[in-house]
Structure 1
Amino acid sequence: MKKRKPDVVVISDVHLGTFGAHAHELSYYLSSIKPKILVLNGDIIDIWQFRKSYFPKSHLKVIQKILNLASKGTKVYYITGNHDEFLRKFSDTSIGNFKVLDKLVLELDHKKAWIFHGDVFDASVQHSKWVAKLGGIGYDYLILLNRFINWCLKKMGKEPYSFSKKIKAGVKKAVKHISDFETTATDLAIEKNYDYVICGHIHEPKIIEKENKNGSTTYLNSGDWVENLTALEYQNKRWKLYRYEDHTELETEEEDLFEMESYIEQQLIASIISSKTS
């Protein structure tokens, strides 16, 4: 496979260790690029919902590909998010080309990019963390159900449907009066004279010019690898939004479903044994 060589790639919200992570697709994408800089902008490994019994080989392969890029010269910055906040105690740790940070400023062609995950601006996480964690568990099982239904729809030749996008849109509207994520991020970026502000967290891929009475900046969001399968790429002095093309093989979908079904069977067996011994 001929590799593309963007200057910077930003991915976020992969949620490895959950049913929703599209690890096969991300592995393919990582195999297709050789960036100078790779920014992992939070929630790459979902420590909130981590289970020892569910971390498939496909998820491990993503980590191996990231480390392989670092070993071959790519500078890898792991920016911590809320689902992997445990790693914040290791902030500013460097191992070769791999560095853990809470935020990052890059200078790109005489312009400054301010990069952070974005959970600090989300009132639903900051003020009700236990509710957010509980919601994350429900979201994970909703993704599992949604992927099975979409597999069935694909068999019937019909378009996929996203339950999570519909539900999450309603939740975001409910907290809009408390915290307008994009406005807060861009207002601060303008105040600090950053040309770009780059976030993840809300699973909404976007590139948009934002302005207020004090100036303007470019707001970018890398989206996620659960629903949208997107990344940001910087090359030739411009940003673009990469969207994974619909070329997933059927056997890959079936492999994912098999991994999920095996995990559920293990949990059911464990529950039955536990109930009989108690």
Structure 2
Amino acid sequence: MKKRQLDLAVISDIHLGTLSCHADELLSYLNSIKPKTLILNGDIIDIGQFSKRYFPATHLKVLRKIMGMATSGTEVYYITGNHDDMIRRFSGTSLGNIHVVDKLSLELNGKRAWFFHGDVFDITIKNAKWVAKLGAYSYDLLLLFNKITNLVLLKLGREKYSLAKKIKHNVSGARNFIKNFEHAAKELAIENNYDYVICGHIHQPNKEIYENELGKCTYLNSGDWVENLTALEYTFKRWKIYRYSSDKLSAFYVDEELKNMNLQDLMAAASIHMATQTKSTKKEKI
């Protein structure tokens, strides 16, 4: 199966290590593309809820796949989010083609693009972390209950139903939060002379041109791999929202020899990758 060549792919809010993560579907997507640059826009590993008792092989394969893409030449930027904020202590460091950052600015065909997760706008996370954690656990319980409900609906021959989406669209507080989040991102982007602003965090995939008296920008949100199963793709000077439900491709594995890799093997592969990149850098200097 031929891979789609992309200039840039953006994924966020994967929440590896949680029951709500759709790792199999994400692997299918990652195995179908070959981007020059891959941006992981926050909440990739849910460190806040990480447990040694629950980290399935498929979740590990996602990490291995991303490392494999970096080894094959893809520039990978890991932008930290609120669920993986412990990684922020490593911000500014690189491991071969994998770079850890808090935010990122790129030039795409003469236009300025600004990438950040978006939790900077969340006052709850800043001022009351325990409230944010309680909300995260409640959200996961809701998704788990929704998953059980959908299994029953499928057996009855009925369509799946998203409780989380229903709540977001019908609860005024949730609607206002999303609206305020998107407005703040757009205004800040124009104020800082960016043509594109790309976020995650709110699990709401979106592509929208916004204009005010100071200028205009394109606001984009990569959505998530918990509810929506979406990503952003940039190629031929255009942005597209990839939706797994409608753009679905058959899962396949190009790393068959690595399919059964465990955590120890993964760490060993990381060390080899780092050593290879260091040797390559030394040769370039010579």
> TM class, shorter-chain normalised?
0.7 to 0.9
The 10-residue stretch of structure 1 (238-247 or 195-204) with the greater mean CA deviation from structure 2: 238-247
Distance change in 2, residues 1:178/1:209 (3 Å): closer
- How far does residue 152 in structure 1 lie from its aligned partner after superposition? 2.3
Matched, 1:120 2:117: no
The 10-residue stretch of structure 1 (116-125 or 215-224) with the greater mean CA deviation from structure 2: 116-125
- How far does residue 2 in structure 1 lie from its aligned partner after superposition? 1.2
Distance change in 2, residues 1:81/1:177 (3 Å): closer
Tell me, in whole angstroms, the C-alpha distance in 1 between the residues paired with 2:175 and 2:128.
12
Tell me, in whole angstroms, the C-alpha distance in 1 between the residues paired with 2:186 and 2:178.
16
> Which amino acid counterpart does residue 8 of structure 2 have in structure 1?
V
2:168–2:175 CA contact under 8 A, matched in 1: no
Unaligned runs of at least 5 residues, structure 2: 251-286
Encode CA deviations 1:80-128: one digit per residue, 9 max, x unaligned.
Answer: 0000000000001101100000000111000010000000012232233
> Which amino acid counterpart does residue 47 of structure 1 have in structure 2?
I
Distance change in 2, residues 1:174/1:10 (3 Å): closer
Distance change in 2, residues 1:187/1:68 (3 Å): same
Alignment partner, residue 264 of structure 1: none
Alignment partner, residue 61 of structure 1: 61
1:122–1:179 CA contact under 8 A, matched in 2: no
Distance change in 2, residues 1:248/1:5 (3 Å): closer
Alignment partner, residue 92 of structure 1: 92
Distance change in 2, residues 1:177/1:244 (3 Å): closer
- How far does residue 147 in structure 1 lie from its aligned partner after superposition? 1.2
Alignment partner, residue 149 of structure 1: 149
Unaligned runs of at least 5 residues, structure 1: 250-278
Alignment partner, residue 30 of structure 1: 30
Paired-residue identity, %: 61
1:1-278 equivalent positions in 2, closer than 5 A: 1-169=1-169, 173=173, 176=176, 180-245=180-245
The alignment partner of 1:223 has SS state of coil
The alignment partner of 2:25 has SS state of helix
The alignment partner of 1:207 has SS state of strand
Tell me, in whole angstroms, the C-alpha distance in 1 between the residues paired with 2:39 and 2:72.
16
TM-score, with length taken from structure 1: 0.85
2:168–2:174 CA contact under 8 A, matched in 1: no
> Which amino acid counterpart does residue 55 of structure 1 have in structure 2?
F
Distance change in 2, residues 1:47/1:213 (3 Å): same
The alignment partner of 2:77 has SS state of strand
TM-score, with length taken from structure 2: 0.83
> Which amino acid counterpart does residue 10 of structure 1 have in structure 2?
V
Tell me, in whole angstroms, the C-alpha distance in 2 between the residues paired with 1:35 and 1:101.
19
> Which amino acid counterpart does residue 176 of structure 2 have in structure 1?
K
> Which amino acid counterpart does residue 133 of structure 1 have in structure 2?
K
Alignment partner, residue 271 of structure 1: none
Aligned length in residues: 249
Tell me, in whole angstroms, the C-alpha distance in 2 between the residues paired with 1:172 and 1:88.
33
Tell me, in whole angstroms, the C-alpha distance in 1 between the residues paired with 2:124 and 2:169.
14
- RMSD of aligned C-alpha atoms? 1.9
Tell me, in whole angstroms, the C-alpha distance in 2 between the residues paired with 1:85 and 1:27.
24
> Which amino acid counterpart does residue 147 of structure 2 have in structure 1?
R
The alignment partner of 1:55 has SS state of coil
Distance change in 2, residues 1:174/1:12 (3 Å): closer
> Which amino acid counterpart does residue 156 of structure 2 have in structure 1?
M
1:209–1:219 CA contact under 8 A, matched in 2: yes
- How far does residue 46 in structure 1 lie from its aligned partner after superposition? 0.3
- How far does residue 201 in structure 1 lie from its aligned partner after superposition? 0.1
2:169–2:175 CA contact under 8 A, matched in 1: no
Encode CA deviations 1:7-51: one digit per residue, 9 max, x unaligned.
Answer: 000000000000110000000000001100000000000011111
